Amino acid sequence: MIKGKSLIGLIFILVGIVFVSIPLYNEWQQSKGVSALEGALASLEVDPLNGSVQELETQWSKEELENVMTLDIPSIDLEQYVLDETTEENLAIALTQVSENQTPGEGNFSIAGHRGYRGDRHFRQLSNVSDGDEVRLISEGKTYIYEVNSISIVEPTQLDVLDDSEEAEITLITCTMSGEQRLIVKGKLVEVIEESQTV
């Protein structure tokens, strides 16, 4: 009888270790991917004589690296890379642009991200954003500043939040804590700052 209880206890311990290990492994994988992306971005060297960018041996093409954006939300201490294509691989390490044909500062620019397991990675803290908070998207030498004006929870099938709009806005999308619905944060464009203005 004691052996049976010990065996059951051991099984519960092993199952617990597996459940704890999965998010830690995923976080380690994500951290590894982010480090690789940062290394690739840091390796983008411009030849001062002709202004060309050297070809790199990474999982990302030169064009993909040149299109990497940064999303900054000061109120929740978020600063994350935004990759220009939504794939499972890209979502595992960064935020992603939902539609390829969208351009920052024009119509509805949508960004998706996982909630993340721990800490402040991905969109884990997005639910703490408030109306009026500032969202900054840095892309190709410009900083697009948006002001949050709408926060809502929608069903995964409610895709109209991605529709283009007449006004320039940003849409941030992630899962709710349960994973059954989507948290949508929208902001209107209030200012565009050229890189030369920020120096």
- Does residue 193 register a pLDDT over 80? yes
CA nearest to 123, candidates 183, 163, 67, 38: 183
Write down the architecture of domain 67-198 according to CATH: Beta Barrel (2.40)
| Higher per-residue confidence, 59 vs 143 | 143
pTM above 0.85, yes or no: no
Structure confidence at residue 26 (pLDDT) = 56
Q: How confident is the model at residue 19 (pLDDT cuts 50, 70, 90)?
A: low
Q: Answer yes or no: are the C-beta atoms of 158 and 182 closer than 8 Å.
A: yes
**Distance (Å, whole) CA 94 – CA 35:** 11
The pLDDT tens digits of the residues spanning 46-75 come to: 444 444 444 445 566 666 677 789 999 999
* Beta strands at 134-139 and 78-83: parallel, antiparallel or unpaired: unpaired
Partners of 193 in the beta sheet? Answer: 143
The first and second tokens of residue 13, run together, are 């311990």
- Does residue 132 register a pLDDT over 90? yes
Residues of the chain with CATH 2.40.260.10: 67-198
- Does residue 20 register a pLDDT over 70? no
Q: How confident is the model at residue 115 (pLDDT cuts 50, 70, 90)?
A: confident
- % residues pLDDT > 70 (the chain): 67
Query: CB neighbours of 176 closer than 8 A, spacing ≥ 6?
Result: 127, 153, 182, 183
CA nearest to 139, candidates 106, 176, 91, 184: 106
The pLDDT tens digits of the residues spanning 77-111 come to: 999 899 888 888 888 888 999 988 889 999 999 99
Residue of 107, 110, 114, 170 marked catalytic: 114
Residue of 162, 175, 192, 193 marked catalytic: 175
The mean pLDDT value of the chain amounts to 78
Is 175 annotated as catalytic? yes
- Does residue 14 register a pLDDT over 50? yes
